[in-house]
Amino acid sequence: MDVISLRLGKKLDSVVEKDLKEFNYSTKTEYIRQAIRELHDRLSTELAIRKLAKAKGFAKRAGYKEPTEEEYERVREEVARDLVAKLRSPQAKK
């Protein structure tokens, strides 16, 4: 594991100290690791959204049409029926 050293500055250090107490983090290291994980998750989600938007634009240019609200509703109803049937089946209770 690599060791990283950083200077937070007084203002940011006081924010971290306050959060340590308020949110029950035992160490600054634990707090910073969690912050990095959450930032990574947010950036990964943002990247996925960008890729999806780009793919959607490609699909639109290629002539694929956006499903209508009625089509979405029909699919939702089908999925709900299938899910209820599976939950009610004897095998699901095992």
What confidence tens digit (pLDDT) does each residue in 14-39 have?
999 999 999 999 999 999 999 999 99
pLDDT tops 70 at residue 90: no
Quick: pLDDT tens for 51-84.
888 887 777 777 777 778 888 888 888 888 888 8
Four-point Cα dihedral 32, 34, 40, 44, nearest 10: -170
* Residue in 50, 20, 48, 47 with CA at minimum distance from that of residue 35: 20
Helix or strand (DSSP H, E) at 57: helix 28-61
pLDDT (0 to 100) of residue 91? 59
Neighbours of 36 (CB within 10 A): 11
Encoded amino acid at 87, one letter: L
pLDDT at 92 over 80: no
61: tokens are 């240019």
pLDDT of residue 23: 94
* Cβ pair 20, 14 in contact under 8 A: no
Put simply, whether the predicted model's pTM sits higher than 0.75 gets the answer no
Q: Where are the domains of the chain?
A: 1-63, 66-94
